[in-house]
Amino acid sequence: MDCKEIKEKLISCSGQMPESEEFASVKEHLAVCPNCRQEWEAYAGIFAGIVQVMEDSAAKASPSPHAWADIKGRIAVNPRRISTFVAIKSKVARFAKGFWLRPVWQKAVSVASVAAIIAALLITQLTVVLSPAAVIARAQEAATEVNSYHVTQTRSYADDDWVMRQEIDYVMPDRMKLVRYDDDVKSMEARYIGSNRYSWTSETGLWELDSGDWSPQSIGEMSQGLMQLGAITQIRVLPDEVVDVVSCVHYEATFNPSDPVFYVSLMREVIKVENDPDEIEFYQKEIERSEQMIAEGAEVPDETVVMNYWIGKDDYLVRQFHSVHSRQWQGKLQVATDTATYSQFNEPIEIEAPSM
C-alpha cells in the first residue's frame, strides 16, 4: 500500500490501532515512513481531543442524567465504540481526507473543529453509545411528550385458533377510542371522553353511557411496557431492526411476572409516575407484602415472559412490543402471544361522543 492508502486506513481507526492481520502492513509502513507516522500520531491526538470534548459535553448537558452518565462511562471504558458511527459518516470522512493534507502543526489547532463536527453528528445518534437502561430512560421521557398515537394490539393462544385484536386511539390528556375484534368480527367499542365512558357491544347493538374517574391512557401498553422495562435488570441487546420504515434498537427481556423480586421493582417504577397519595400508599403496601414473601422464601409460580421491544433510534419512541407468556394453568401449559404496534405519533386524531 502507498501512503494515501495507509492514511485512509488510519482514518477508520479513530485513534486506536486494531490488533488484526489487516493492519499488520500498516504498522510495518509506519515503522519506516516518518511522514505517515507523524500524521498518525497527530490523528491519535485529535481523537483523544474528540473524546475529551464528548466527556466535557456529557458533563455539562442536562436533558437526561442517566443517559449522559452512561455516555461518559462508555467513552471512558471503550472509546472505540464511538468510532463505529464516525467511520460511516461521509461528511467526516471527506473532512478527514482533506485534513491529512495539512501540516501537523495546523492539525493540532483544528482539533476543536473536527471534534465539533463529530460531536454534532453523534448527538443525533446517541443510541450508538447508550446502554439499554439509558435508552429506556429516554423512551420514558419521550412517551411523556406524545400528545396522540395509535396502537394495534393482538393476542392469541398456542392451543386455540381464536385471535383478538384491538385498535386504540389516544388523544391526551383524557380521550381514548378502543375497538375490539374477535376473529376479525367487531365485538366491542368504548370511547373515553373526560369522565364519560361510552360503550357498545355486539350483543346489544346499543351505546351506553356511564361516568367515573377514568384514566384511559393508563390502559395503553406503552406506559405499562415501559414500566416493565424499567423493572427488568437483565436485558439482551439484539441487532437493530426497521419497524414501519423506522430504524430501531431491539431489546429482549426474560422475567417471571409472579416473582416477588420483579414485582417489587415494578411497583417502584409505578410509584415514580404516580401522583395520587392513596395509590402510592397502596403500592407501598404491595412492596411490603412482596418483601415479606421474599423474606419467608415463598414458592414462586412457574411462569415466564419473553418480551421484545423496538425503540426508535432517533426519537426514542416505542414502535413495538412483542411478548410470549408461558405458564401452568389448570394443569396444562398455556402460551399467550401479545403484540402491540404503535403509529401516528402526534398526528391529528378525532375522538367524539357517539350518537346515542
Give the Cβ contact number of residue 85 at 10 Å.
19
**Cα distances (angstroms) measured from residue 290 to each of 74, 263, 269, 276:** 35, 7, 15, 21
Average pLDDT in the 182-200 region? 90
> Within this chain, do residues 116 and 238 fall inside the same structural domain, yes or no?
no
Share of the chain above pLDDT 70, in %: 62
Phi-psi region of 118 (alpha: psi -120 to 50; beta: other; left: phi over 0): alpha
Q: Which residue do the cell numbers 402510592 mark?
A: 280
Question: Model confidence over 308-323: pLDDT tens digits?
Answer: 989 999 889 999 989 8
Q: Is residue 318 part of a domain?
A: yes
Q: CA–CA separation, 37 vs 201, rounded Å?
A: 77
Whether residue 322 is contained in a domain is answered as: yes
Phi, psi angle pair for 99, to nearest 5°:
-60, -35
With CA atoms as reference, report the closest residue to 233 among 131, 93, 128.
Answer: 131
- pLDDT value of position 208: 93
Residue 274 pLDDT > 90, yes or no?
A: no
- Give the percent of the chain with pLDDT over 90: 19
| Domain contains 170 | yes
Q: What is the DSSP letter of 204?
A: T
137 contact partners, CB below 8 Å, separation of at least 6? 64, 66, 67
Would you state the cell numbers that stand for residue 146, as one nine-digit string? Answer: 406524545
In this structure, the answer to whether residues 97 and 166 fall within a common structural domain is no
Q: Where are the alpha helices (DSSP H) in the chain?
A: 3-11, 24-32, 34-60, 65-77, 80-86, 90-100, 104-109, 111-123, 132-143, 221-231, 260-273, 277-296
pLDDT, tens digit, 9 for 90 and up, residues 220-243: 446 566 666 666 767 889 999 999
* Strand ranges across the sheet with 332-343: 207-211, 196-201, 185-193, 175-182, 163-171, 148-157, 332-343, 318-329, 303-312, 246-255, 235-243
Asked whether residue 90 falls in the same domain as residue 167, the answer is: no
Which range, of 13-22, 38-47, 202-211, 246-255, averages the lowest pLDDT? 13-22
Structure-model confidence comparison of residues 151 and 214, the more confident one: 151
101 with 156, same domain: the answer is no
26 near 40, Cβ under 8 Å?
no
State the pLDDT confidence band at 198, using cuts at 50, 70 and 90. very high
Separation CA 14–CA 83 (nearest Å): 6
Considering only 73-87, 203-217, 328-342, which range has the smallest mean pLDDT?
Answer: 73-87
Are 217 and 327 contained in the same domain?
yes
C-alpha of 262 from chain center: 20
pLDDT of 113 higher than 60: no
For CA atoms 34, 35, 38, 39, the dihedral sign is negative
Average pLDDT value over all residues in the chain: 72
Does position 114 have pLDDT exceeding 50, yes or no? no
Over residues 16-27, the mean pLDDT reads 66
Stretch 184-201: mean pLDDT: 90
Same domain, 7 and 53: yes
Q: Which of 101, 129, 157 is the last residue of a domain?
A: 129
pTM (2 decimals)? 0.59
Q: What is the pLDDT of residue 43?
A: 58
* Residue 292: inside a domain: no
Do 237 and 331 reside in the same domain of the chain?
yes
Residues 29, 94 within the same domain: yes
For the segment 118-160, what is each residue's pLDDT rounded down to a tens digit?
333 333 333 444 678 788 888 888 887 888 999 999 999 887 8
| Residue at 202 is within a domain | yes
Query: What is the pLDDT at residue 201?
Result: 92
CA separation for the pair 346, 99 (Å, rounded): 43
Residue 344 pLDDT exceeds 90:
yes
C-alpha–C-alpha distance, residues 275 and 214, integer Å:
15
Choose between 330 and 66: higher pLDDT.
Answer: 330
Distance CA 58, CA 317 (A): 22
124 and 146 belong to one structural domain: no
Q: Are residue 123 and residue 197 in the same domain, yes or no?
A: no
Which pLDDT score, from 0 to 100, does residue 230 have?
Answer: 66
Count of structural domains, the chain: 2
Domain hosting 16: range is 3-129
